[in-house]
Amino acid sequence: SPVQKLVFNRVNGKRPQVLLQQVSAPEECYTLAHEENVRFIYEAWQQVEQQLDGSRSGESTCGPVQYVEKNPNPELKNFVPIDLDEWWAQQFLAKVENCS
């Protein structure tokens, strides 16, 4: 059976008062250089994805090469990536329990 995940629903679409106090952090401001860097990375990644899609469908013979391990590490055989949604839910619950 699939693992159940915690879902946080807002009552009447409103945030609880406890969260409003914690969320009152100052807004992050981004510089033009930051936005330019993000745009550059995004556009470069889009090009890589297009080239990968083209090489999979046989459109091009050159381009990016996707790495596939020939001899996988046996120690990583049972590796399970972390579920960030679940981790954040646990952190949230721990903070709520510590506050009460």
Burial class of residue 92 in the structure, from the number of CB atoms within 10 Å of its CB (0-12 exposed, 13-18 middle, 19+ buried): middle
pLDDT of 21 reads: 46
| Cα–Cα distance list, 24 to 13, 15, 21, 77, 84 (Å) | 18, 12, 6, 43, 23
| Regions of the chain short of the pLDDT cut 70 | 1-27, 56, 58-61, 63, 100
- Euclidean distance between CA atoms 81 and 87, whole angstroms: 11
Q: Structural domain tally of the chain? A: 1
The model carries a pTM of: 0.36
pLDDT of 20 reads: 45
pLDDT of 35 reads: 92
For residue 36, the enclosing domain spans 31-57
pLDDT of 55 reads: 72
Asked, for residue 96, whether it belongs to a domain, the answer is no
Asked, for residue 15, whether it belongs to a domain, the answer is no
**Which residues neighbour 96 within 8 Å (Cβ) at sequence distance 6 or greater?**
18
Asked, for residue 50, whether it belongs to a domain, the answer is yes
